[in-house]
Structure 1
Amino acid sequence: MPKNILGRARALTQTHKLAIAGTATLGAAALAFTAVPSEAQTPAHEATVASAPVSVGNQPVKTLKVAVTDQMAAAGLKAEAIAAKQKAAQDAVKKQVQQKAQQAQKAQQAAKQRPAQQQAANRSAQRPAAQPVATKTYANNLDGWIRQSLDIMRQNGIPGSYNGLYRNIMRESSGNPSAINNWDINARNGIPSKGLLQVIDPTFRSYHVPGTSWNIYDPVANITAAANYAAHRYGSMDNVNSAY
């Protein structure tokens, strides 16, 4: 039996040997492909995925080397740069729009204010300049005192005329503002008549007109207070023709 086997082995033709060698080579190649891990099995944190060279016989079949993480990082940086440029451009456009809107608003406000300012300027130009009111002056004599008293009487609604005042002043004191009566009943009672229209102190205080002096010898104050008293008792100094 052993001899027969060896004899058959030797009897293998050259063709049979080549077929066996090819089958062995294909099996080795299949084992080599099976030993290489797939992409699904590769850990995610690895920076690169590479496959070992695969050969059939003495010839290399395939060599793979891909830098996945580097490519993704580069793509992300590029996308961020593009987004930043787009945002900067949008911000610049938005700023220009806001500036133009503000300028337009200021222009509208100025246009609204311009007519009012022009009208105010026109009114100011048309309005005559206010003239200072000259202070009225009076002579420091009987004529000036009577005239000043008449102005104050008109302001306070006290009736009387220049002639009525002048006539009674000349009868009572002869135009002397310092005149005093020391002999009549008022003098005997301690309240002598004083001034241009011979007024006693109680009457002067009761009928004193605001704006005049409280000095009974003051000509204007004396005339005005006496005229005020005569208006209350006689209707007017014009109606007095004797001692009152």
Structure 2
Amino acid sequence: MRTTTLIPRRIATTGITVLGAAGIATAALTGTAHAAPQTAEPAHQTAAKAAAKPAKADDKADKKAEKAEKKGAGKKAEDYPDNLDGWIREAMSIMKKHGIPGSYDGIKRNIIRESGGDPNAVNDWDINAQKGIPSKGLLQVIQPTFDQYHVKGTADKLTDPVANIVAACNYAADRYGTMDNVDSAY
């Protein structure tokens, strides 16, 4: 009795990242795909070897992280400057952890329009102010909105720059999809 071993065929992957799916389809249709040599190992053995061998990039990243951890023991993971850029970057870090969308540019654009970058800005003339609940902070949030959209882990103070940004972006995400979609008073 004769046994036949099936060897999986492979397409050469050189250039796939440049060509994408269209390149793969073209290569397959034009016959330029290359078969694996007849001495190739079965796929399950190749996968097992790859899993057993640690990735060099991962090793380097792990070592780098360990060095940074030892060097900065007792410090925050990242220190942010106490300015508009730092507040936005810190807020975005928190937003990322909570799945709140928003880009740096969209947030900054709205801050500049709403408060000119002043975390203590107060609107004392609009309808909210007339009702006794003025808009405050970088993104001009009223207290009830801040209370409803406040994100745990940020300061519980409406004019705290980071808490104001995160709560406002959380509100904008709920109402408009993202702060990036806000182009006027919201």
TM-score range normalised by the length of the shorter chain: 0.5 to 0.7
Higher relative CO (CA 8 A, sep ≥ 6), structure 1 or 2? 2
- The one-letter amino acid of 1:230's match is A
Q: How far, CA to CA, are the matches of 1:163 and 1:130 in structure 2?
A: 32
**Count of residues in Structure 1 that have an aligned counterpart in Structure 2:** 118
Query: Which secondary structure state, in structure 1, belongs to the residue aligned with residue 105 of structure 2?
Result: helix
Greater strand content: 1
2:170 to 213, 216, 228: 228
Query: Which secondary structure state, in structure 1, belongs to the residue aligned with residue 169 of structure 2?
Result: helix
1:133-144 superposed matches below 5 A: 134=72, 135-144=77-86
Q: How far, CA to CA, are the matches of 2:147 and 2:87 in structure 1?
A: 20
Please name the residue that 1:63 is paired with: none
Gaps of 5+ in 2: 1-62
Query: Which secondary structure state, in structure 2, belongs to the residue aligned with residue 198 of structure 1?
Result: coil
Greater helix content: 1
Q: How far, CA to CA, are the matches of 2:154 and 2:182 in structure 1?
A: 23
The question of 1:165 aligning with 2:119 is answered no
The question of 1:184 aligning with 2:126 is answered yes
- The one-letter amino acid of 1:140's match is D
TM-score, length-scaled by structure 1: 0.47
- The one-letter amino acid of 1:141's match is N
1:2-41 superposed matches below 5 A: none
Gaps of 5+ in 1: 1-127
Q: How far, CA to CA, are the matches of 2:100 and 2:125 in structure 1?
A: 31
Please name the residue that 2:16 is paired with: none
- C-alpha distance 136-201 of structure 1, shift in aligned 2 (>3 A): same
Query: Which secondary structure state, in structure 2, belongs to the residue aligned with residue 238 of structure 1?
Result: helix
Superposed displacement of residue 200, structure 1: 0.1
Superposed displacement of residue 130, structure 1: 4.7
Moved over 4 A (4+): 128-131
Indicate the percent of aligned positions where both proteins have the same amino acid: 63
1:239 to 160, 181, 186: 181
TM-score, length-scaled by structure 2: 0.61
